[in-house]
Structure 1
Amino acid sequence: MNTFHIRLLQPSESPPMPLLLLADPSEKQVLSYFDRGECYVALLDGEIVGVSVLLQTEEQTIELMNVAVAEQCQGSGIGKKLILHALDTAKQKGFARMEVGTGNSSIGQLALYQKCGFRISAIDHDFFTRHYSEPIWENGIHCRDMIRLTAEL
């Protein structure tokens, strides 16, 4: 029987960088928000198989900066559990809204966020071409624009 739970990453633990880089291929970008946010890890039978990072961006707003699931566990519902956990955590902390940004080429992620209650709120045109030195391709699509989504809590 598999045991699954989500918990806060402890200060004594190293960041799960390989997982964080699945969601954001720039280590520089990951490090720019990791230390300022709260990192949660999803454990399956004691092994870290997922990660999320929450960062307060405004008085009533928190952003889901990173959410990733180990490749061997993708499609099993862990990503959805991490997103719902993040929404619940933010609501318990008294935030009014949660934001998330993803690439225009991230078809599966766009669907998942909307299934979890997010709505498209803005497009940051050419975000990925401005902030990433190497082009990003996903699902055969050049990732150029950041699609911003918001959930009211």
Structure 2
Amino acid sequence: MEIRKVETDKKRYLDLLLLADEQEDMVDRYLERGTMYVLEDDGIKAECVVTDEGGGLLELKNIAVTPDDQGRGYGKALVDFLVQTYKRQYAILQVGTGDSPSTIPFYESCGFRRHHLVRNFFTDHYDHAIYECGVQLVDMVYLQREL
């Protein structure tokens, strides 16, 4: 398993990016200003994008694992990599996600705790309803962990 930084042509991973953030213009808001990593293990298995939000805050804007490889520890490996890579540069790692029974437990298992939420984020910023595990996403839940 190898995790490497993607310096150019980040959009070549658009299909994977859209698994985590299904509207391309929303991905465009952070992709170029973010730092992207891909995890390879006999092929690309996962990706993530982080951004510097100032004040010691690093935000995980996108993390996705290929559908056939979910549940194999690749997402956790990326989070662990981010913690180790950025612990001397930032104080907090933050992630915003929908209030979904599949994502919240994953982040909590990686050491994140609920911090705050932005009401109606998904209904206000996306041009269509987004569903995850049969639940419509409405509010953005922010979780944080110390680095």
Bin the TM-score by the shorter chain. over 0.9
Deviations 1:108-145 (A, max 9, x none): 22111111111100011100000001001111111101
Q: Which residue of 1 aligns with 2:14?
A: 17
Q: Which residue of 1 aligns with 2:65?
A: 69
Q: Which residue of 2 aligns with 1:97?
A: 92
The CA distance in 1 between the partners of 2:104 and 2:10, in whole Å, is 30
The CA distance in 2 between the partners of 1:89 and 1:48, in whole Å, is 20
8 Å CA contact retained: 2:102, 2:133: no
Instruction: Provide the secondary structure at the position in 1 that maps to 2:103.
Output: helix
Q: Which moved more, 1:7-16 or 1:73-82?
A: 7-16
Matched, 1:35 2:27: no
The CA distance in 2 between the partners of 1:13 and 1:33, in whole Å, is 11
Matched, 1:84 2:74: no
Q: Which moved more, 1:16-25 or 1:108-117?
A: 108-117
The CA distance in 1 between the partners of 2:28 and 2:129, in whole Å, is 20
**Structure 2 unaligned spans of 5+:** none
For the structure 1 residues 136 and 96, does the alpha-carbon distance in structure 2 shift closer, same or farther, using more than 3 Å as the test?
same
Letter in structure 1 aligned against 2:64: A
1:115 to 99, 104, 109: 109
**Structure 1 unaligned spans of 5+:** none
Matched, 1:51 2:47: yes
Letter in structure 2 aligned against 1:87: V
The CA distance in 2 between the partners of 1:34 and 1:13, in whole Å, is 7
For the structure 1 residues 13 and 98, does the alpha-carbon distance in structure 2 shift closer, same or farther, using more than 3 Å as the test?
closer
